[in-house]
Amino acid sequence: MAALAAGCLAQPSSEPRPRTVLDTAEDDRHVGQEQSQAVATQIGVVKDEALAKYVQALGEKVARFAPTSPFAYQFQVVDQWSPNAFALPGGYVFVSRGLLALTNSEDELACVLGHEITHAAERHAASRQAYTEQLPLFSLGFVRKARLAAYSRDQERMADTGGQKMCSAAGYDPAALGVFLSSLDAITRLQMGSSRVPTFLDTHPGAAERAGNSALFAATLPPPPTRDPVAWREAYLAHLEGMVLGSDPSQGVSRGSFFLHPDLGFAVPFPKGWEVQNTPAAVVALSPKHDARFALELAGAGDDPRQVADAALAERLPKVKAQIDFQGPAKTRCCKAWVVRGHVEKGSSTLAGQLAWVALAGRVYELSSVYVPSASEKYADLGRLFVRSFHPLTPEERASIQVDRLRLVRAHAGETLGALADRMGNAYKSHPTAIANGVAVGAVLSEGQLIKIGVLEPYETGAKAASSIDAESRE
């Protein structure tokens, strides 16, 4: 949860958005910059300076061998637990926390980045746009989608081989792409019960097909320099030590109807039984009948809620047809607050609601409640309670927040993953742990073998990790 642009007295523009045309590399840069900001707002970017610098440096090393270099590439880690990577036009490349947790060498990550660099360098988004315009205007929707999907699959195959070429030129093992894709396929099989069978409408070939093709193509490229595989893997994994697995408490934690934010130091209950969604933009709750919406967002820095309210209203009111029924100070459990209640016309309908600005610890938060006028009696009191219940995080609430972090542990000779999990407190089952470490689930581990596990720990604001866990320190 960071900031939201609209409250109940704001209204989205009815102007149609102009169509984006990717005619030139400059168009790509402009669109990529816009979309990368949307990614940061809607998905979030991992705030780990050391990890961010490492991924950026690795990406730049690989990008030096791109077939064309029209962009200054930017590489970031998105705050997403599912394994994912994507490129935006203009050289903006993203990998997820979940993807990093699945990799076991710098070679694997370099090949993934190379794949995404190829998409950007070859301007695949612009090519898809041009291809779409070449299709018969009145072709059947299914046929049109199938042809576009086939075109996208061909681009994915091109990106695989292009990424492998770059990785090989940069001194990495091009076969590592196939290793990663095999891990990705294994995780898919574990989650779904089988490998995903691609259809005519899939934009990506199946991971198993891609893994096989990647292994074959790697054999045609120069091999990487000779390295100590154990030391090479351990040096890479050190960059991942302490990375958050699963949901990240730094973005806030939902506990039933309560929302707790340890980094910003507040807690607030939403109405019980409502659907609560936490995004980097805001925390939003919808009533069971979807006839009311409550939201919380960071409005900005300051200690005077009325000052922030006046500035916000001065910007928003000229854009909407609004009637203010009341404005004035409000009581909360802790803080200064300023409340505005009223109605706003939205198209042919009218919405009622409340905006409240609450100051806490040098920040001002906006708490909004919006509902149809016929439900005012039902939701107005809930909106007031929503504001009054906002409070600083208590020591008990803070102590209840835990985080699941990636930790590196060393096996004992002859130990199995199950035995290591029991000894070290691994939060994950043996099968996903085996896939994440590139070993068989029943493998017998060697003395000192480094294994990635997940450990549930008390959450500390701003903390990433202590040093690697070793067996002696945990027994």
pLDDT for position 127: 67
Return all residues near 413 (Cβ < 8 A) that are at least 6 apart. Answer: 445, 446, 447
Residue 118 has pLDDT above 80, yes or no: yes
How confident is the model at residue 145, as a pLDDT?
Answer: 67
Among the ranges given (71-85, 341-355, 427-441), the one the predictor scored with the smallest mean pLDDT? 341-355
Average pLDDT over residues 429-435: 94
pLDDT at 188: 81
pLDDT per residue as tens digits for the range 291-338: 999 999 999 999 999 999 999 999 988 888 888 999 999 988 899 999
Q: Where are the domains of the chain?
A: 47-227, 250-398, 401-474
Q: State the pLDDT at residue 126.
A: 66
Chain segment 152-208, per-residue pLDDT in tens? 777 888 999 999 999 999 999 999 999 999 999 898 877 755 554 444 445 567 788
Phi-psi region of 307 (alpha: psi -120 to 50; beta: other; left: phi over 0): alpha
Q: What is the pLDDT of residue 438?
A: 95
- Evaluate if residue 15 carries a pLDDT over 80: no
pLDDT value of residue 397: 95
pLDDT value at 466 more than 80: no
* pLDDT greater than 50 at residue 3: no
pLDDT at residue 406, as a whole number:
97
- 330-367: per-residue pLDDT in tens? 988 899 999 999 988 877 778 999 999 999 999 999 99
Round to whole Å and give the CA distance between 93 and 115: 10
State the pTM of this model: 0.83
Q: Tokens 């070939």 correspond to what residue?
A: 205
The pLDDT of 83-101, averaged and rounded, is: 92
Instruction: Assign 133 a pLDDT band (cuts: 50, 70, 90).
Output: low
- Please give the class, per CATH, of domain 250-398: alpha beta
Q: Taking 70 as the threshold, does the pLDDT of residue 252 lie above it?
A: yes
pLDDT of residue 472: 42
Q: What is the pLDDT of residues 138-154, one digit of tens each?
A: 444 555 566 666 767 77
Q: Are 85 and 96 in contact (CB under 8 A)?
A: yes
**According to the model, what pLDDT value does residue 288 have?**
94
